[in-house]
Amino acid sequence: MTELKVSRVIIYRHGIAFIEMTGTLEEKIARLFFEEDDMNDLLKSFAVSCYGEKEAGVVSVQFGSKIDVGEILERTGISISPESGIKTLFETFTGERVRIKISGEEEKEGRIIGVEEFAEEKEGRVMVSFYDEKTKNIAFINVDRIESMELLDLEKAKDFAFYLETQAEAKKRTMKPVTIHFDGEPPFEVLIRYAIESPAWKTTYRLFKTSIEEKSFLEGFAIVDNPRGIDWEDVQLTLVTGLPISFEYDSYSPLWMKRPVVKRREDIGLRPIIPEAELEKAKAEEVEEEYYAPKAMPPPSPRAALASVAMDKELGGHPVRAKSDVKVETTTVELGEFFAYSVNKPVTVKRNQSALVPILREEVETKKRYLFNEEAYLKNPLMCIELKNTSQAMLEEGPITLFADGAYSGEGILPTMKKENERLIPFVLEQEININVEREEKTEITSVTLDKKYRSIVESVSKVLETTYIISNSKDEDAEVILEHSKHWYGEVFEPFEAPELYQETPQAYRWLVNVERKATRRFGVTLKRIVKTYRRLEELTDEQLEKLKKEGVIDEEIFAKLMNKRKLIKEREILEQDITALKEELETLYREQERLRENIKTLGTSHKEEALKTTFLGKLESMEKTIEDLKETILNKQKEKTKVEKELKK
């Protein structure tokens, strides 16, 4: 059988690899091995087909089941301990018919009765008790004299062979066999495809720049990992961006379904005829109808798993033939939301190894800039390369190393960049350019207006932030400095006011581009402003504040008169509220006094003196009742007056 080899690998950025294996088979069976952890992905995506002139097909795909090894071995009834293998071997076959060959004697046929171990001075002696079917005798045989033993029960011999095979498979630990059975006459041209979990591919870049030319040379490499137990030799490699939906679904674990339990009928003979309605009742009593829904969908049928997968034509469908190009080149392909690097030259990545694969060699536009942010860089700017992606590829995020005029000049991070995108990439702190910052803050009221709708005074307060950058360039060349100025100060967003034209704007900052000549110092001023409006209700203003607003012309005589009348009404309402509160407190005091007098009356007896005291208390209670009624009427009148005032205030 010709070995199946990996011919094509497509790796996605989200940790999935699509694998194609091809080969010519001279037999009707192909056998592969996969990690147990990969079986769920394999069963979800495994597809196998035959191509070529001959008619051929796939009969079935068998794979090692996920069943506990101990459980499998227990079903055979065979158990051999590694520590005392010879003893447990014979114990396992107790009662079985065997043919044994004993040193210096003829072969014997019979059954093993048991095994005994006797203590010796140095080593134990194991004796097998054996029933000889020919002589009808029971013999005791030293294990050391037994040269061989044949199992005469064919089924038991098969169990023993299965036991040994299972033990051998268990030693492979996580490796599971997948066996494919074909129909037709070999040879077969076979194509196998599957998606499997894989480390995401990574990118890394080198930028070569000279001080004379604006364009630079960008090299991109992909880091590809092959953690699997199979070599990738001369494979067609494609690296795809994007995040297609992928998940793990447990199709590998056996799915045991809970079936309804039907009680066994214990009567025998003929049954009386039962009317249909009563028969239905009887059925309901005899069948447990509780249903246990499965926790997961059953695994797909073998034929469903064998369905052929149509590949994107842009990525190239099978059959795949490795090109013999010597020159390393990459074809870039846009696939809707995805972007692919297809490496045209065959790539080899041995098992459990990684490779650095060139995927990009392009000339790009670059400019040297200096980026300064006061909050981040204190006194010095960062030397940056402003890179424009003039290549035909989408650049994935990754580290980038700068070689300026042939020397190492620093490292940065290249962000993800679509075609024609521009990005600043910092590489090194520039100590020959120093920047000092002077700042002045001002706050002034710019206007005061009346909001008639909301009956409030609106004050517009202007907050001004004046910043001066003093840039000293000690270099022997002119420097283009990008001043990055935060939009946010004290939690508020400021906008440019009396400032030069913006060079760029980011979500968090404004940027100005300033050219500073060699060996020179330049001052660059920026003014930002924020208008803040405050609202104050007219009713909350004092008489003096209202007089000032009338004098300044913010409110006219008519509004002033209305406001003063409102202030008068507000004062009246406050006085009424105070009066009502005081009257209610007085009323509560009278109620408490009445309650005290009633309690005292209850304690008095029938003597002449006590009767006189009762009369006095009753007189006080009667007087209090009249006072209480007067207070209630007064409170009611005050509340009516307050309601009238509040209606006037709402006008």
**Helix/strand/coil (H/E/C) assignment for every residue in 250-314:** CCCCCCCCCCCCECCCCCCCCCCCCCHHHHHHHHHHHECCCCCCCCCCCCCCHHHHCCCCCCCHH
State the CATH number of the domain containing residue 172.
Answer: 2.30.30.100
Q: How far apart are CA 607 and CA 611, in angstroms?
A: 6
CA 154 to chain centre: 56
**Residue percentage of the chain with pLDDT more than 70:** 77
> What pTM does this model have?
0.56
Domain assignment present for residue 607? The answer is yes
Q: How far apart are CA 439 and CA 572, in angstroms?
A: 52
Domain assignment present for residue 315? The answer is no
Q: How far apart are CA 166 and CA 69, in angstroms?
A: 7
Indicate the residue among 149, 183, 217 that finishes a domain: 183
For residue 12, what are the contacts with CB-CB under 8 A and spacing of at least 6? 18, 200, 240, 241, 242, 243, 244, 246
Residues 8-41 pLDDT 10s: 999 988 778 889 988 888 888 888 888 777 888 8
Domain assignment present for residue 627? The answer is yes
Domain assignment present for residue 281? The answer is no
Could you tell me the two tokens for 231? 């070599």
Structural domain harbouring 103: 69-183
Residues 55-82 pLDDT 10s: 677 778 877 766 555 556 666 666 666 5
Q: Is 269 left (phi over 0), alpha (psi -120 to 50) or beta?
A: left
pLDDT reading at 473 higher than 90: yes
Least confident of 206-210, 377-381, 445-449: 445-449
The total of other beta-carbon atoms located within 10 Å of residue 174's CB is 12
Q: How far apart are CA 45 and CA 47, in angstroms?
A: 6
**Phi, psi (rounded to 5 degrees) for 431:** -90, -5
Confidence of residue 649 (pLDDT cuts 50, 70, 90): confident
Q: How far apart are CA 235 and CA 608, in angstroms?
A: 126
Sign of the alpha-carbon torsion through 385, 386, 392, 393: positive
What are the distances in angstroms from CA 616 to CA 30, 513, 589, 602?
120, 99, 20, 14
Helices (H), 174-275: none
pLDDT at residue 13, as a whole number: 81
Q: How far apart are CA 132 and CA 139, in angstroms?
A: 7
Mean pLDDT value across residues 344-366: 88
pLDDT reading at 303 higher than 70: no
Q: How far apart are CA 400 and CA 428, in angstroms?
A: 13
Residue 108: strand, helix, or coil: strand
pLDDT at residue 289, as a whole number: 34
Do 211 and 406 form a contact (C-beta atoms < 8 A)? no
pLDDT at residue 335, as a whole number: 53
Indicate the residue among 126, 156, 183 that finishes a domain: 183
pLDDT at residue 322, as a whole number: 28
pLDDT reading at 609 higher than 70: yes
Domain assignment present for residue 124? The answer is yes
Indicate the residue among 128, 158, 183 that finishes a domain: 183
Whose CA is closest to 240, among 113, 116, 343, 130?
Answer: 343
The count of structural domains within the chain is 2
**Burial category of 463 from C-beta neighbours within 10 Å (exposed 0-12, middle 13-18, buried 19 and up):** middle
Helix (H) or strand (E) holding 629: helix 608-650
**Angle at 503 (CA atoms; ends 500, 505), nearest 5 degrees:** 110
Q: Which residue has the higher pLDDT, 440 or 539?
A: 440
Domain assignment present for residue 95? The answer is yes
pLDDT at residue 511, as a whole number: 92
Asked if the peptide bond before residue 177 counts as cis, ω within 30 degrees of 0, the response is no
Domain assignment present for residue 585? The answer is yes
Least confident of 79-83, 247-251, 404-408, 416-420: 79-83
Residues 170-192 pLDDT 10s: 655 567 778 888 888 788 888 88
Domain assignment present for residue 269? The answer is no
Q: How far apart are CA 88 and CA 510, in angstroms?
A: 83
Least confident of 112-116, 168-172, 278-282, 626-630: 278-282
Q: How many CA atoms lie within 13 A of 93 on its CB side?
A: 26
Per the listing, tokens 């913010």 go with: 554
Do 181 and 62 form a contact (C-beta atoms < 8 A)? yes
Could you tell me the two tokens for 470? 């003093």
**Residue percentage of the chain with pLDDT more than 90:** 16
